[in-house]
Amino acid sequence: MLCLGFSGTALAAGQPLTLGEAMLLALKHNPGLKAAGMTVETAETEVAKARARFLPTVNFAETYNFSNNPTQVFMNKLNQRVFTQQDFLLNNLNFPSPLGNFRTGLTVAQPLFQAGEAALGYKQAQLGQEMAGALVLNARQQLLFLVTQVYYGLQLAQENLAVIKKAHGTATEHLKIAESRFRAGSVVQADVLSSQVHLAKITQEEMTAASQVQIARSALGTVVGQPEAGSRTLAPPPKEPAPFPKEAMEGWQRTAQERRPDLKQLELAARSAQQEVTKARLNYLPRLHMVAQYDVDQQRLFGSGGDSYTVMALLHFNLFNGLADLARVRESRAKEAQARNLQQELEDRIRHQVTEAILNLKTAHERLRVARTALAQARESLRLIRLRYETGLTILLDLLTAEDALKSAELSQVGALFDTYLAQAGLELALGTISGPAAVDTKKK
């Protein structure tokens, strides 16, 4: 079993890391998501505590006192059922001998009428449980979007490095051409020096790009929650852009209003605040409890003694508490209005976020189309200018300029391609529909 487990781990480490697998690892290992998940457990305990208010409380108590206090001794003897005629003598009443008493008590208290406060508290706890679920779902979606960002960010960094390495090779070839023409006496030494400076600049860009790849690997490992995941080979990068949505803007806006977990959380918070207003008003109503108590009094523990019981009803009616109840009502109303305003603000921001995400995706597709055309033009331009330079029909500056133009066009094309996927993920996040590994694998198929 150990060999099989080791082989499975080694195989997983040797396989390319896909975006879906990175999402699965993040959902399993990211500590931030685990911390958010604990809010659900906390909310469940709040529901249990609210449910307990409907049930009776049962308490057991054991006390012992040893005293010569006349009143205490008198009561202890009565409770132990050991009071005699001699105890009525004045000297015995005023100066009793010390007496010990063990009292074993069992008390049961049951609320009979709580003015609906317990029922409202239970409903609020249930709303809190739903809010915790919405919070975790929102944290999950934010994490999936972040994984998408860092995964494509690493692929983009690797593609940029490949473009710059290619540019480095091209610059090296052009330096050789300049040196060959200098030895032939066709150009001056300035062409060679300019080519060397240009190559040095590309070398610095390559060093920076390589550093960005390492930074992106570190970011991926951090987000996933497994630092070693960042060192794994990634799946091949996409060659075609992300699909562009066909649905109208109104449909996307409606979807976002229905699916966003953070909006649902604020809706539930507003409902809870509304119930808090009702609960604050209930403080004006009385409360009724029933208490039953059974006691055993004895001079020695586990000895003989007397037992007794008491049943009572307790009515509590707050007539005046310095207008504190009125202040609670005003406070709860203010919090309800605050929750409604926050909900409205988020609805407005969601409309803007959806609009922005759709426009970003549309712009990324248009940029990619332009970048692909520009890339083809830059390649042809470099080919023609290189031929002209080799035959002495143009100067080195034109060749270096065309070389930089090709590099910029390739970087722009790669950036626009990945921007379509990042914009698509941003749209799914704005809609509240980003769902994780299964959806990613389905899209790729």
The span from the CA of 79 to the CA of 22, in Å, is 73
Q: How far is CA 350 from CA 79, 131, 252, 347, 357, in A?
A: 71, 19, 11, 5, 10
Does residue 337 or residue 244 have the better pLDDT?
337
What is the SS3 assignment for 391-402?
CCCCCHHHHHHH
Q: Phi and psi at residue 346, in whole multiples of 5°?
A: -65, -40
For domain 16-56+115-285+325-444, the CATH superfamily is Outer membrane efflux proteins (OEP) (1.20.1600.10)
Query: For residues 237 and 158, is the Cβ–Cβ distance under 8 A?
Result: yes
* Alpha carbon 199 to its chain's center: 46
Average pLDDT over residues 7-20: 67
Structure tokens at 391: 């035959």
pLDDT number for residue 440: 55
Residue 5 has pLDDT above 60, yes or no: no
Cα-Cα end-to-end distance for the chain: 34
Using one digit for the tens of pLDDT, what is the confidence trace for 356-407?
A: 999 999 999 999 999 999 999 999 999 999 999 888 888 988 989 999 999 9
Task: Give the helix/strand (H/E) hosting 316.
Answer: strand 305-316
**Which position has the token pair 């290619």?**
166
Q: What pLDDT shows up at residue 427? A: 95
User: How far from chain centre, in Å, is Cα 351?
Assistant: 22
Q: Which residues of 187-215 are buried (b: 16+ CB within 10 A; e: fewer)?
A: beeebbebbeebbeebeebbeebbebbee
Confidence at residue 288, expressed as pLDDT on a 0 to 100 scale: 95
Closest residue by Cα to residue 424 from 174, 268, 233, 252: 252
Provide the pLDDT for residue 6: 35
**DSSP state for residue 283 in the 8-state scheme:** G
How far, in Å, are 33, 57, 108, 376 from residue 63 at the CA level?
49, 19, 17, 94
Residue holding tokens 């409902």? 271
Q: Say yes or no to pLDDT of 26 above 90.
A: yes
- Worst-scoring range by mean pLDDT, 12-16, 86-90, 375-379? 12-16
Read off the pLDDT of residues 188-198 as tens digits, 9 standing for 90 and up.
899 899 999 99
- List the chain domain ranges: 16-56+115-285+325-444
186 DSSP assignment: S
How far CA 283 is from CA of 151, 187, 325, 332, in Å, comes to: 55, 97, 6, 13
Query: Residue 12: pLDDT above 90?
Result: no
Using a 10 angstrom Cβ sphere, with 0-12 exposed, 13-18 middle and 19 or more buried, the burial of residue 88 is: exposed
